[in-house]
Amino acid sequence: MKVYKMRRGETLEERIPDMKATVEEYFGPITGTEDMNGHELYVIGEPSNPVFSRIVVGAAEYSGKKDRLAVHFEERPAEEVIAEGLADAAADAVSVKNEFLLEATGRDAKSRRNSLKRSVEDKDDVPGEV
């Protein structure tokens, strides 16, 4: 599960006022909900793109902090996708993921990557016990 921050000064609710409709538009019908780490997230059990086997997505709410986008994409193995001749669907899957994440967070792939790197580096800066 990856958790994404919004751009500075923006909230997830402002960017995506109707999460359910937006998720269905990008990935297909919602088949249920699932509780992950105390957050109620939408489950797409049969995504419209055959590259995905399952998607879990929704708002991760934290007290005293802005909501973040929590997403988990389960993808079929690349060998299986290629063997079935779904190379175009694989390209579409990458595009759909990036478009959704850009709409939700206001950050493109490069800035999301940099943000994740910074959060990992910040954790590495914490001194261990001596």
- H or E element, residue 87: helix 87-105
By CB neighbour count within 10 A (0-12 exposed, 13-18 middle, 19+ buried), where does 92 fall?
A: middle
Q: For residue 120, what are the domain limits?
A: 2-124
58 located within any domain? yes
What is the mean pLDDT of the segment spanning 67-96? 91
26 located within any domain? yes
Q: Is 111 left (phi over 0), alpha (psi -120 to 50) or beta?
A: alpha
Give the separation between CA 5 and CA 12, rounded to whole angstroms. 9
130 located within any domain? no
Nearest CA to 101 out of 57, 63, 66 is that of: 57
pTM (two decimals): 0.82
pLDDT class for 120, splitting at 50, 70, 90? low
User: pLDDT per residue over 23-68, tens digit each?
Assistant: 999 999 999 999 988 889 999 999 999 999 999 999 998 877 788 9
What is the mean pLDDT of the segment spanning 99-109? 90
The count of structural domains within the chain is 1
129 located within any domain? no
Q: Structure tokens of 108?
A: 């493109």
13 located within any domain? yes
